[in-house]
């Protein structure tokens, strides 16, 4: 079973190929994606890497979290499903 990882703190210059090469040191990479601004095409400084199995994903978290890449320390952790990231409800009121 594969494991999807969130990778944050990326320098805007990092490419998907560089990300794949970095994570390939920890195991088989299924896919990589760097999230980009839809208008400018500029990297948003984070992305996702899918590792072939959970053990390789855990090794990548252990060995690559905090590693310096292109002058910046990256953050690597297990990606959460999108529904878990939504904010919890409206909770505000409009004041006049």
- Binned at pLDDT 50, 70 and 90, residue 32 comes out as very high
* Res. 91: pLDDT tops 70: no
Average pLDDT, the chain: 91
Q: What is the mean pLDDT of residues 75-88?
A: 76
Class of domain 3-50+62-78: alpha beta
The answer to whether 79 and 5 are in contact (CB under 8 A) is: yes
Domain spans, the chain = 3-50+62-78
The answer to whether 49 and 23 are in contact (CB under 8 A) is: yes
Backbone angles phi, psi at 80, to 5 degrees: -95, 150
* Res. 90: pLDDT tops 80: no
Angle, helices 54-64/16-24, rounded to nearest 10 degrees? 100
Tokens 């996702």 identify what position? 48
Q: Cα(16)–Cα(18) distance, rounded to whole angstroms?
A: 5
Per-residue pLDDT tens over the stretch 37-60: 999 999 999 999 999 999 999 999
């Amino acid at each position: 079973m594969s494991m999807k990882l969130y990778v944050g703190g990326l320098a805007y210059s990092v490419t998907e190929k560089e990300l794949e090469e970095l994570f390939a040191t920890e195991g088989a990479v299924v896919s990589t994606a760097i999230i980009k601004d839809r208008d400018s095409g500029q990297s948003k400084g984070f992305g996702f890497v899918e590792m072939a199995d959970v053990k390789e994903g855990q090794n990548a978290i252990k060995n690559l979290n905090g590693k310096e890449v292109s002058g910046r320390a990256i953050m690597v952790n297990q990606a959460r499903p999108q529904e878990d990231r939504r904010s919890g409800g409206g909770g505000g009121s409009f004041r006049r």
